[in-house]
Structure 1
């Protein structure tokens, strides 16, 4: 899980118009390192809302206090030119979210193309010195 999907972490490839996600410093593998309220589905919902409406209020709330209903259950006032009506974006988002929360594929550990990270190696023992009794510190 990326855990920090936001407009500031998105680029658009000028040749392909594909979205590129970057800044993986909050990324987590499986359940280890996951933080409450930072799941990627919520991140996409809040990001799309912010991009379309330019409303930063929901994203100024700490992630552990936010709920996606805050933006999913209100009207979205469009503040930029779009190539489709806002309702089309919301309909697609609703279907996208449903596909990721109603099925096992919504769980990052069950994703079909899940990235796997190798286990961390066992650290090499480090000796700082010896005690007066000659034991390692």
Structure 2
């Protein structure tokens, strides 16, 4: 009987020391991404750029009711979003094309800044976007 108790204690110690070993991260929650975010930096294929004049007013707003509003180059898109805590992805679906789900993989988020990766427009690569909270 003591052996079973020892195994359960040992199991807890082993699992608690395996941080980063599992494919999910409980540090980021959907509440962390609520709000309005503006891009300040883009990185693609090693090239780092800042928003140009046409992109300066871009933003994405994640609402608590699981809707989003995004302005990209003066085009406004609205739709729904959900957060997947297993892989820290935000999946967005626009009202115009609800069957097309775009995954945004959140790498980090805090009170002031969020960094995520998303597929490029041609779908052949990824772009890393750094945003600041408004």
Q: Give TM-score, length-normalised by structure 2.
A: 0.21
Structure of larger gyration radius: 1
- From the two aligned structures, give the one with the greater helix fraction: 1
- From the two aligned structures, give the one with the greater strand fraction: 2
Q: Give TM-score, length-normalised by structure 1.
A: 0.20
